[in-house]
Amino acid sequence: MRTFGKLVLAVVVVFAVLQVVRPGIPATPATAEIQAAPEVKRILEKDCYSCHSNQRRLSWFDQVVPAYWLVRHDILTAREHLNFSTLGSKAPAMRKATLYEAVNMMQLGAMPLPDFVRLHPEAKVTPEDLAALKSYLAPWSPPPNHPSNAPGSASPDGSPTPVSLAMVHTELNGFPFDPAFESWKPISTTDRGDNNTFRFILGNDVAVKAAQSGNISPWPDGTRFAKIAWEQEPGPGGLMQPGKFVQVELMLKDAHRYKDTEGWGWGRWRGLDLKPYGQDAGFVKECTGCHQPLSGNDYVYTLPITTAKVNAHEVVNNGAAAVPATLPYHPLDWGAITMYVDPKTHTTTTLYGNDAAMRGVQARTAIPPVPKSPAYPPGAVLALVTWAQRDDPHWFGARIPAEPQSVEFVQVLAEGQTSSYRRFAGAGLIEDHPAASAAAQRISFMLALAPARMP
């Protein structure tokens, strides 16, 4: 019994001594606190400031070692990723993007951390909180007017000069650029109202086969994704179309090689000169931190357009793939040329091309880099697929394709012959037969669509 008493006393002494071993948690005045509406500020202070600000807010049980050590680590890590006490010093676009990411973390249940909420129930994000934040951010506002050319060198006629893809620098985390990304096949598209961009999500052969078979939990090693972004700009008839090239982001799945970054290699290159995004190798923490809420989807945000059935909710986009096999062609297997959105009808449209059509899209090394009206050769077939839009369940402020509304085909015949036109629309995509004048207008429209600008 005496031995037990001594043991208890020793534990108490050690516990007491450990309470002295408590490195500090800095608590300094805000230097550039984010400015927001009072209701929004109240929500952020309630749900986020305990970890994501310079304020030091600890409950009594948070201050007991060894729990204190864990709490301190979490707070310092959280501040490094996002600090509302200094966010106001960032550029407006960065502040906006950070708020959208924060709302998405809340929407996906990743923030506040579930363990934190269990001990601090007052920090729980209520549906009312989330609705107020979404209303404040208000995506889908008209995009600003941007010049048509991205940063970079220019040719004598003022058109941007393409860079040599073989000369693009490796990211600072060692992740290499892949010049082959332009030839990959489309997996989905995204209309981003949070930052007024359009995005193609392309995949290499491994990714495409995995999506078609539903073998995406996890994605197989060798999967490569490219997410290409353009600024939105007004087009004819009130449509919104791709404008200035913004960036390309690449991902490569290699569970062993990239085991320290969730099994994926990450890289981002911005502008027509494809400058690596990272200032140092630590930029990859942004990638893994942003994708962490999708760990159950192998860290992939995109819902690939596929007919494959996957036994999970919102992992693939079967609705958008509901294109009948009876159509004369299978456009979702082709390359993507451009896209546009009709804000009035809330539809999104992608122009696809068969191999011959893709060869007709002028080579990237030519000057000017991209023609306004590609010279499609005989045998080229274009397909214009229009979908209704729905909110992206993985990203607030984004919309993705939903049910297909119509598929239009233009086949380029031999020189001197008029191109042929067929249209399938409505429930089940049944072929209709528009008047010759209407068909001629659609042929002209499709043939004149300019390819989205590649670097």
Q: Whole-number mean pLDDT of the chain?
A: 87
pLDDT of residue 10: 63
Please report which confidence band the pLDDT of residue 264 belongs to, taking 50, 70 and 90 as the band edges: very high
Instruction: Confirm if 234 and 217 have CB atoms less than 8 A apart.
Output: no
Q: Give CA separation, 397 vs 189, 304, 318, in Å.
A: 14, 18, 21
The pTM score is: 0.87
- Average pLDDT for 144-173: 63
* CATH, domain range 165-297: 3.50.70
- Per-residue burial over 409-423, b if 16 or more Cβ lie within 10 Å, else e, is bbbbeeeeeebebbb
Beta-bridge mates of residue 248: 228, 269
- Average pLDDT for 361-365: 58
pLDDT exceeds cutoff 50 at 147: no
pLDDT of residue 268: 97
- Average pLDDT for 161-184: 90
pLDDT exceeds cutoff 60 at 401: yes
| Separation CA 254–CA 160 (nearest Å) | 35
pLDDT of residue 417: 76
- Average pLDDT for 364-391: 80
pLDDT tens-digit map of 3-44:
766 676 666 666 666 566 667 777 777 778 888 888 988 988
pLDDT exceeds cutoff 60 at 146: no
| Separation CA 355–CA 334 (nearest Å) | 7
pLDDT of residue 150: 40
Select the highest-mean-pLDDT range: 73-82, 300-309, 356-365.
300-309
Instruction: Confirm if 65 and 22 have CB atoms less than 8 A apart.
Output: yes
pLDDT tens-digit map of 407-435:
999 999 987 677 899 999 999 999 999 99
Decide: residue 8, CB within 10 A, 0-12 exposed, 13-18 middle, 19+ buried: exposed
Instruction: Confirm if 405 and 425 have CB atoms less than 8 A apart.
Output: yes
Q: How many CA atoms lie within 13 A of 256 on its CB side?
A: 2
Token pair in block for residue 82: 């996002």
| % of residues, the chain, pLDDT over 70 | 88
pLDDT tens-digit map of 310-352:
988 899 999 999 999 999 999 999 999 999 999 999 999 999 9
Query: Where does the chain hold its CATH 3.50.70 domain(s)?
Result: 165-297
pLDDT tens-digit map of 197-225:
999 999 999 999 999 999 999 999 999 99
Q: Give CA separation, 321 vs 33, 37, 380, 387, 425, in Å.
A: 45, 41, 23, 10, 15
